[in-house]
A and B are shown apart, each in its own frame.
Chain A
Amino acid sequence: MKKISIKGGMITKQIIMVIATFFALYPVIWLISIAFKDKNQYLANKFFFSWPLQFTSFESALKGGKFFLWFMNSTVMTIGSVILCTIIAVLAAYAFAKMQFKGQDLIMNILIALMVVPVVVLIVPLFILYTQTKLMATYPGIIIIYAAVCLPFSVYLLTNFFKTIPHEIIEAGIVDGCSSFTILTRIIMPLSGPPITTLIIVNALWIWNELLLALVFLPKDNLRTLMVGITVFKSKYNLEIPTTMAGLLLTTIPMVVLYIVFQKFFIRGLTAGSIK
């Protein structure tokens, strides 16, 4: 009797997971299947792949959208912002964790509070500031904003990690005559590979996928990021669904490849800072 109920439980669980996985994956499978259709195939079959696979939608997507340019823009902005943010975060976290200065706790508390400020609250004043100062529609302009938005969380996370590095190691460094900076680069940084990698991935993913700031602060065709490009592309090809899907698939592939390669870091990053 008991054995049967355990088996029954196993089957129920498998059924639940299969259904859940189907719902999770179907939109993505659907995207792929539609991208490989031409218009008539889509009208004939909206559910799944049609044979033979057609590549015409990719041709028209590549012709109609500047995917390469958008891709490069997103790459430049993401890399620039992540580098800026990481450098500042490492320096600031080092100061918070290993030095003593006036107002330390106060600044840390302000930083924690800033983590929850909605990004949209900042856009009106920054919009006005940027139109005055020529930072509007420039790479440096948006990179500064992205880096600043990422900073509170980054500093908080790294400070917590740096605090776990034992003082003895640093004191040994001081005895050996290291300056603060060499302690940071020679002792602390090599010990902090995993958290810094996690941080870089989390921030890069966020910036890459960000839409609102990119829409407001890059109002120029040749500066569009991939995410803004998609929305423009979509409204242009609203009636040619396979073409839109082909475009979306082109933008999705690099991300999914990165996800599968760096799966471990992604998952660690998702939960970073929340588990004590």
Chain B
Amino acid sequence: MIAILLFIYGYALVKVFDFSFRRIRGITGVFVGFDNYKFVFADPVFNQSVLNNFKLFLVIPFIIFFALIFAVLLFEKIRGWRFYRVSLFLPYILAIPIAGTIFGYMFTKNGVINEILRAAHLSALAIDWLGDPKYALWTLMIIILWKEIGFGIALFLARLMSVDESIYDSASIDGAGWWGKLLFITIPQLRNIITFFIIITIINMLSWVFAYSYTVTMGGPGRATTVLELYIFNKLARSQTPNLGMASAASVILLLITVVFIVISYRVRRRGELVE
């Protein structure tokens, strides 16, 4: 029944460790110990990729902040909330390659964003969003924020539906304002789902950003927006001299980083439960 599953994962996971210790020619190769790992760690592109993945974590607080505000406003059923809800979820439904391509054109030097900024007499802000290595990764984060926020809203909104409304009523009687309710009722009530969302998003930023990097910038300019997945992909399929050993070593490192983050978040979560 689950033979197919065990086969794919089992084979692949064992082999990726195996390959990472070999210099591969064709389908296998000689055992070379930790050489592949040494090469990978000595490769500035690899180090930059890992750093870029970590930098992407910076977008998470923004996603949570905006998703929370929008979820609460939708939950309050302010006028037109149905329309707002459909609109705010739409980016999440669009495929990343499509969104990435659209934004790739919007953010060019003479693209529509800069034209709008210039028309608004904000020429100073009309930077080369994707062409300048200083800004490219930040621009990518804006795109990720735009795209991923819908998931956060959907999660938080679903959880809000099950919060006991009498808590809000008694808070209103006690004179709590909108921000007071958000800070002291909504956020504590939603703590578990927020933690869950943070964990999911961390995993995504580590191992699910290939399509952004590939379709918006191809990892460029230079290697400013190269992420680990793209590094592995390049070593496997796009490089003039494919190096499957190094690609495997990088894969193992990515797997280990992911596991470390999951263990950490699991610990944090448990400590949270103990406090409770």
User: For the complex, is A82 an interface residue (Cβ under 8 Å from B)?
Assistant: no
Contact with B along A37-51 (1 / 0, CB 8 A): 000000000110000
A236 to chain B, nearest CB (A): 12
Number of A residues, CB within 8 Å of B: 77
* Contact assessment for A24 and B193 in the assembled complex, using a CB-CB cutoff below 8 Å: no
In the complex, chain A residues whose CB is within 8 Å of the CB of B32: none
In the complex, the answer to whether A21 meets B102 with C-beta atoms within 8 Å is: no
Decide if A144 touches B237 in the complex (CB within 8 Å): no
Most buried by B among A126, A129, A271: A271
- Determine the distance from Cα of A241 to Cα of B102 in the docked complex, in whole angstroms: 10
Given contacts A46-B111, A121-B16, contact A252 B1 (CB under 8 A): no
**B101 adjacent to A128 (CB under 8 Å):** no
Q: How far is the CB of A250 from chain B (nearest CB, A)?
A: 11
Q: A88-B1, A118-B254, A248-B101 are in contact. Are A16 and B73 (CB under 8 A)?
A: yes
Decide if A165 is an interface residue (CB 8 Å cutoff): no
Kindly identify which residue among B90, B101, B105, B106 contacts A24, using a CB–CB cutoff of 8 Å: B90
Binds B, one of A58-66, A168-176, A259-267: A259-267
Is A120's beta carbon under 8 Å from chain B?
yes
Instruction: Count chain A CB atoms within 10 A of each CB in B78, B90, B96, B105 and give the residue with the most.
Output: B105
- Do the beta carbons of A116 and B244 come within 8 Å of each other? no
- In angstroms, Cα B112 to Cα A16, docked, is 23
- From A23, A151, A241, name the one whose CB has the most chain B CB atoms within 10 angstroms: A23
Picked from A14, A126, A155, A255, the residue with its CB within 8 Å of the CB of B78 is: A14
Which residues of B36-80 are within 8 A (CB) of A?
A: 66, 69-70, 73, 76, 78-80
Q: Is A97 an interface residue (CB 8 A)?
A: no
Q: Dominant SS at the A interface? A: helix
Determine if A208 is an interface residue (Cβ-Cβ < 8 Å): yes
Contacts of A53 in B (CB 8 A): none
Among the listed A24, A120, A148, A248, which residue makes an inter-chain contact with B4, where contact means beta carbons less than 8 Å apart? A148
Instruction: Determine the residue in chain A with the shortest Cβ distance to B206.
Output: A118
Q: Mark A117-144, 1 if CB is under 8 A from B, else 0.
A: 1111111111111011000000000001
CA distance A256 to B94 in the complex (A): 8
**A274 close to B (CB within 8 Å):** yes
CA distance A118 to B24 in the complex (A): 22
Contact with B along A199-216 (1 / 0, CB 8 A): 000000100110110011
Contact B73 A131 (CB under 8 A): no
> Does any Cβ of B come within 8 Å of A78's Cβ?
no
Selected from B1, B16, B106, B158, the residue in CB contact (under 8 A) with A124 is: B16
Inter-subunit contact A17/B80 (CB<8 Å)? yes
Say if the beta carbon of B91 comes within 8 Å of chain A.
yes
Q: Does B208 lie at the interface of the complex (its beta carbon under 8 Å from any beta carbon of A)?
A: yes
Residues of A within 8 A of B236 (CB): 123-124, 127, 216
Q: Are B93 and A120 in contact (CB under 8 A)?
A: no
Residues on A with beta carbons closer than 8 Å to the beta carbon of B259: 116
A270 and B155 within 8 A (CB): yes
Q: How far is the CA of A91 from the CA of B232 in the complex (A)?
A: 35
> When A129-B11, A148-B5, A151-B5 are in contact, do A252 and B146 touch as well, CB less than 8 Å?
no
Complex Cα gap A107–B10 (Å): 12
B123 at the interface (CB under 8 A from A): no
Q: Which of A21, A155, A209, A241 makes the CB contact (< 8 A) with B88? A: A21
Instruction: Check A13 for interface membership: any CB of B closer than 8 A.
Output: yes
**From A25, A107, A252, contact of B2 by CB (8 A):** A107
Alpha-carbon distance between A114 and B12 when the two chains are bound, in angstroms: 12
**8 Å CB contact of A27 from B95, B103, B210:** B103
- With a cutoff of 8 Å between Cβ atoms, the chain A residues found around residue B206 in the complex are 118
Q: Are A25 and B8 in contact (CB under 8 A)?
A: no
- Tell me the minimal C-beta distance from A58 to chain B in angstroms: 16
A128, B1: Cβ atoms closer than 8 Å:
no
B95 touches A259 (CB 8 A): no
Tell me if A191 is interfacial: C-beta within 8 Å of chain B.
Answer: no
B115 beta carbon closer than 8 Å to chain A = yes
Given known A-B contacts A227-B97, A231-B97, A30 and B210 have beta carbons under 8 A apart: no
Cross-chain pairs A/B with CB under 8 angstroms, 22 sampled: A25-B87, A27-B91, A27-B102, A28-B90, A46-B115, A88-B2, A91-B1, A92-B2, A116-B203, A117-B9, A118-B208, A120-B210, A131-B27, A148-B7, A211-B210, A212-B211, A230-B97, A255-B95, A263-B86, A270-B92, A270-B150, A274-B193
Residues of chain A at the chain B interface (Cβ within 8 Å) = 9-10, 13-14, 16-17, 20-21, 23-25, 27-28, 30-31, 46-47, 88, 91-92, 95, 107, 111, 114, 116-129, 131-132, 144-145, 147-149, 151-152, 155, 205, 208-209, 211-212, 215-216, 219, 227, 230-231, 234, 241, 244-245, 248, 251-252, 255-256, 259-260, 263, 266-267, 270-271, 274-275
3 shortest interchain CB distances as A-B pairs:
A118-B207, A125-B15, A148-B8
Residues of B with Cβ closer than 8 Å to A?
1-2, 4-5, 7-9, 11-16, 19, 24, 27-28, 66, 69-70, 73, 76, 78-80, 83-84, 86-99, 101-106, 111-112, 115-116, 146, 150-151, 154-155, 158-159, 162, 178, 193, 196, 203, 206-208, 210-211, 214-215, 228-229, 232-233, 236-237, 244, 247-248, 251-252, 254-255, 258-259, 262
